Structure 1
Amino acid sequence: MSDDPKTLVSAAWLAQHLKDPDLRILDGSWYLPSAGRDAKAEYAAAHIPGARFFDIDDISDHRSDLPHMAPPVEKFMSRLRAMGVGDGHQIVVYDGAGLFSAARVWWMFRLMGQENVAVLDGGLPKWQSQGHAVDDMPPVIRDRHMTVRLQNHLVRDVTQVSAASKLQDHVIVDARAALRFRGEAPEPREGMRVGHIPGARNVPYTDLLNKDQTMKTPDACRAIFEAAGVDLNKPIITSCGSGVTATVLTLALERMGHHQWSLYDGSWTEWGMFPTVPVATGEA
């Protein structure tokens, strides 16, 4: 793969830059309850040297009933300052699954106007499989100011997605597994309808990954989107269960050179609970 410090970098690239003074590494691991994994405990036991833990559930909007919605600007700035992450830093985010929740952290930085941020391709498993070191040392933190310029066009709410579904002026692309998209498998959260947003297309995020959880090439990803009936000439809104795996699609789109994207932050957790919006089932 070609390393790009604004989207995706390899374990070899990170190993080469590990001692750079302005590099900041974040462990953005987050797991569904069904995974039975404790992201914080795993970070404490072993992480890439110098990494800070980025808590997706904590650095979120606690005023919302929905899980880990994007945080207010002030909260993001204060949390990142406390982590010693700010202006002038090159940020690399990884997770313990390979390529799963790290993309959510990447998207959050982009939402806040920060562009020098990349996801580690293949995450911690790839890093360790290549023989690179991990440790359990807490990082040395020095305060660093971060300038935030909120990019509102990178996020969508239920009203905007409902309009896009009706007008078909955007393509809504759902990253959930095909059975959930078609309404043939139950949702992991109780009280939620099954199915998908009318007019949406289905690109399960796992389709974009290789067996080692690295991302497929931009050309291979483009072919997958096109095979799913996604019109790449239109702006795209990505969606999933709760706004995490949709960002894997977003990251792939950015690498493909498709920059007209946004994320439906509430995703199916909101749409599936919202009584007045329609639901479709079956194939797209």
Structure 2
Amino acid sequence: MAIFELATPEWLAQHAGQRDLILIDTRPAADYWAGHIPGARHIEPSLFAIASTDASSLARLHAILGWSLSALGISRDSRVVVGGAQNEVNASRVAWALAYAGVERIALLDGGIEAWTGERTTVAPAVTATAYTVVPQAGYLATADEVLAAVEKQAEAPSAQAGVRIIDARSREEYAGRRSNAGRTGRVPGARFWDAAVELGADGRFAAAGQLAAAAKDIVAAEERAVVYCGGGGRAARTFIALQLAGHTGAAVYPASWNEWGTSERYPVDAAVI
């Protein structure tokens, strides 16, 4: 399992240039080429977004991960720092994808590239490709079938403690059934609402681990697996990172999220407006 940490710009400035440290810039390509932290390598986060969690879609994701991580020169034991413009969801999506692919040490640049006050460059670094072999970490990804099984189990024994807790990281309006990015409104039956506002402090940095742990305690028990979904996996990925930082290592992302669940009649929906 991966180790998740936060890296400050000051820490990065002290450790930049170390051989096993790889900095990934997840901003749009135009922003990267306009100026990035020296040594940063660029990746497009949408490569790791999927609309379905069936076998063929996961196989395609694995192929994209293998190609991308090889091209970026990443090994399983690399120390990878991921930075977006700020602490936006796309940086977390990439961090989650790295962990799912088997990378063992991952840090988020807290505050993102905008918090960096040092030199910037328009020159891309020379990268030696690796032959990265994806080792899927099943604990970090939940499929629609897994979510469905958890919903059905909870329906059969509503009073029993859930082994899997489904968490909705969308907006309150989406959770309440007043708005949707997919064909149907509502939520996964039994899903608990997670207020993503607790993830960041007033300064835009991640909230302290103790604060995140207190928020998580109200939503998911320590022994439960927390499966997080949103509209398309990005917000769920940042909630996943927040839970990891809070010490809840049994967290997973349902990456296709409502884009899959909300568009298929196969999956039940609690459509009551609340």
* Superposed pair shares fold, TM > 0.5: yes
Query: Which runs of structure 2 are paired with 1:59-208 in the superposition (5 Å)?
Result: 59=48, 71-127=60-116, 131-168=117-154, 169=162, 170-184=164-178, 186-187=179-180, 189=181, 191-208=182-199
Percent identity between the aligned chains? 29
Hey, which of these two has a bigger chunk of helix by percent?
Answer: 2
- The alpha-carbon deviation at position 175 of structure 1 amounts to 1.1
For these two proteins, the number of residue pairs brought into alignment is 262
Does residue 226 of the first structure (1) align with residue 235 of the second (2)? no
Cα pair 1:59 1:71 within 8 Å, conserved: no
Normalising by the residue count of structure 2, what TM-score does the alignment of the two structures yield? 0.86
Instruction: Provide the residue aligned with 2:8 in structure 1.
Output: 10
- The alpha-carbon deviation at position 107 of structure 1 amounts to 1.0
CA pair 40-199 structure 1, distance change in 2 beyond 3 A:
same
CA pair 70-25 structure 1, distance change in 2 beyond 3 A:
farther
- The alpha-carbon deviation at position 62 of structure 1 amounts to 9.1
Residue 45 of structure 2: SS of its match in structure 1?
A: coil
AA aligned opposite 2:138: N
Cα pair 2:45 2:91 within 8 Å, conserved: no
Residue 142 of structure 1: SS of its match in structure 2?
A: coil
1:91 and 1:243 map into 2 onto residues whose CA distance is 21
Unaligned runs of 5+ in 1: 30-38
1:22 and 1:221 map into 2 onto residues whose CA distance is 30
Instruction: Provide the residue aligned with 1:33 in structure 2.
Output: none
Q: For residues 13-52 of structure 1, what are the alpha-carbon distances to aligned partners after superposition, in whole Å with 9 as ceiling and x for unaligned? A: 11111121221111123xxxxxxxxx11111112221111
1:245 and 1:138 map into 2 onto residues whose CA distance is 29
1:151 and 1:5 map into 2 onto residues whose CA distance is 13
AA aligned opposite 2:172: A
AA aligned opposite 1:240: C
- The alpha-carbon deviation at position 100 of structure 1 amounts to 2.0
Cα pair 2:231 2:259 within 8 Å, conserved: yes
Cα pair 1:70 1:265 within 8 Å, conserved: no
Residue 197 of structure 1: SS of its match in structure 2?
A: coil
C-alpha RMSD over aligned residues: 2.5
Does residue 247 of the first structure (1) align with residue 241 of the second (2)? no
AA aligned opposite 1:174: D
2:52 and 2:251 map into 1 onto residues whose CA distance is 26
Does residue 274 of the first structure (1) align with residue 264 of the second (2)? yes
Q: For residues 120-170 of structure 1, what are the alpha-carbon distances to aligned partners after superposition, in whole Å with 9 as ceiling and x for unaligned? A: 11111222xxx2222211111112232432112321111110111232331
Residue 250 of structure 1: SS of its match in structure 2?
A: helix
Cα pair 1:205 1:246 within 8 Å, conserved: no
- The alpha-carbon deviation at position 87 of structure 1 amounts to 4.3
1:262 and 1:114 map into 2 onto residues whose CA distance is 15
Cα pair 1:99 1:214 within 8 Å, conserved: no
2:48 and 2:244 map into 1 onto residues whose CA distance is 24
CA pair 99-214 structure 1, distance change in 2 beyond 3 A:
farther
Cα pair 2:176 2:186 within 8 Å, conserved: yes
Query: Which runs of structure 2 are paired with 1:249-268 in the superposition (5 Å)?
Result: 249-268=239-258
Unaligned runs of 5+ in 2: 155-161
AA aligned opposite 1:56: P
1:63 and 1:173 map into 2 onto residues whose CA distance is 18
2:192 and 2:222 map into 1 onto residues whose CA distance is 12
2:58 and 2:194 map into 1 onto residues whose CA distance is 22
